Structure 1
Amino acid sequence: MSLSLGLAACGISAGLFGSMFVPVRKYDAGDGFFAQWVMSTAILFVGFLVHVYRGFPGFYPLAMVGGACWTIGNACAIPIINRLGMAMGILIWNTANCLTGWASGRFGLFGTTARPPANQPLNYAGLACVIIGGILFSRLQSKPSNGGRKRSIEMGDIPEKEALNETPKGSGESEDEDPEVVVKQETTIAAGKKDRIIAFILSLISGVLYGVTFAPVNYMIDQRDTKFPTYPTAGLDYVFSHYFGIFLTSTALFLGYCIYKRNDPWINPQIALPGYVSGLFWGIAQSSFFVANDNLSQTVTFPIITMLPGCIASAWSILYFREITGQRNFTILAVAMTITLFGAAMVGLSKSFTF
């Protein structure tokens, strides 16, 4: 195992995870099922390339369970981002992801072997810092952009047809004084708050599902001496099986969505190429995550790889999408990023550094 290789893999993984939604952010992905299916085809392509590179190591069905967990969690990603913004959504689900993955590696959950770091106090302190950073990130006030398509009242916006029925200026009655308009505005605000609460809960659920995605692979590796004597020990050998589970689950969800919509799914053809690029980003990032886990441990990799993408996504939100503005937000963001990066550094050092 190599500390430098593991940390380099963490850097690649965090960078691509934090940027994976950038290609699709400017396009309306609708309900997200088509976009996810396009992503899954790119992910499967990356998995096949890794499979070839590893010399066709074999197919391991249990690894597909982890891919299925990730896919179910990711099905909520686009609705979450549309309601909370890219930075906020990623930061919330990554905090839950961080805690779940860290606990799985530290305490040996789901039948895996516990792998505590060499310096546990430093690891705990670093974990606390990245969580505090995540809490500070949640105080940011972002302005989600919903792509090109006009969204309905359930998204927190006033429908276009209602806007056309507003009282024109100069008619002798202010629209603010119109009881019907006031009620509609209050309903819109209430619907927007409800949507954000639902999106927050979905973010937590998605984070937990993301956090258990490696559990089946780790279980097979840890149980080689008893249950899986012929199975490999390298995480990359399970990548194709893991990614195939993602593709199958994404296909099943998309077909179910088409049936539910009575063969009239909402599909934006402009999302096809950006969605494929996002899938390539994710496939490479997840492969790097497997490498990082092999060379470090989940108690080290999860706090780094799950929290640093939030910093990167925040940078995209400020510099490119303009979702985060204002001096207050910038101050909070600077403090949160500093604490998060400091915590990630402590977690990385806890792998082998002792007092």
Structure 2
Amino acid sequence: MRCDYFDAGLCRACSLMGVPYAQQLADKQRAAESTLAEHTGLAWLDPVASPESGYRNKAKMVVGGSVAKPTLGILDAAQRGIDLRGCGLHDARLTGVMPVLADFVGTARLEPYDVVARRGELKLLLATVSPDGELLLRFVLRSQESVARIRKHLPALRTALPQLRVVSANLLPEHRAAIEGETEILLGDEQVLPMRLGSLELHLRPQGFFQTNSHVAERLYAHAGEWIAELDPASVWDLYCGVGGFALSAAAPGRDVVGIELSGEAIAAAQSAARASGVDGVRFEAADATTWAPGTAGSGVGARAGAGAGVGAHGDAGTRASTALTLPETVIVNPPRRGIGPLADWLERTPEVRSVVYSSCNVDSLARDLRAMPSFTARAARVLDMFPQTPHSEVLVRLER
């Protein structure tokens, strides 16, 4: 892949730009194998490749410039806007809407935020495209000052972009380097973007997290689901479950599946997806997975949940205290880059957990966590290239006690 922005020195975020893709993939495989080399019995499956361009389903565009001539992209060292609306990593359907969004900035008189002067309103545009081509659009604003103007001109924007499904305004009043604030204002009736990955339908809400690469995410969830099917546990806990991709992939008749995620928005999306898919035996709860699992285990978990105990796709997060949960036979973890930390020790000393499926975006923290679980043997692993043109990838590992 070649990039004019990279060649001109305007953006250097893709540190592997210009490296042949086959070499990138081979290097990531070698790096993962080297980092986990102490696991001598580990069987490495063939890596999962990605399209090397056009793979990002989400665009995070810092807005700079002026109302008349906005830039959508990043800021340079002097905090001036650099326009990257033609970024080759974005899905072509995102690239295609950028001129319309830039025009809307002028139409709605949305003054780009000036970092140096600390004035202006519009900080970022966040756009996500579903595999079906529908859009979720978020305006990250300093205040509500321009919300009324966005509402006024939104019908015209929807006419120009009929694929626009969910629109919201996020308020980030503080002067700090952040993507979003806590307050989200929906600007329409729709609040969920369906994300169909093969046979799996997930839901995304404005403040929810979703894997950046839909092509590889589909393979990730499908492969984890295959491993779960082979292990055939009676109960599964999906910790750091996000919008529920692994939990819903693990669902099967007669199996209890619990998904835990700190983000309430992600849990609401997971519950919505479970209802839409008609999946039974799966429940989701908003909690800190790192402390929830040891805390739940320490509160007398052990009785198998009965049919009337409220474990299901329609259960809400507030009913867990009255619901008996079984310590899981299998645990799925998909933590942030820092890894699972003290949760590794809990897994090590909980004999009821017979297997772990670990999805990691940081092989170094993965290696550290595996050392903390010596009772488990790493049986199989696979590199999934979620982030071409960068050194990063996802590594999926199957562990058995």
Superposed pair shares fold, TM > 0.5: no
| Structure that is richer in helix per residue | 1
RCO greater where, 1 or 2, for CA within 8 Å and sep 6 or more? 1
| Structure that is richer in strand per residue | 2
Q: What range describes the TM-score normalised by the shorter chain of this pair? A: under 0.3
TM-score in terms of structure 2 length: 0.24
TM-score in terms of structure 1 length: 0.27
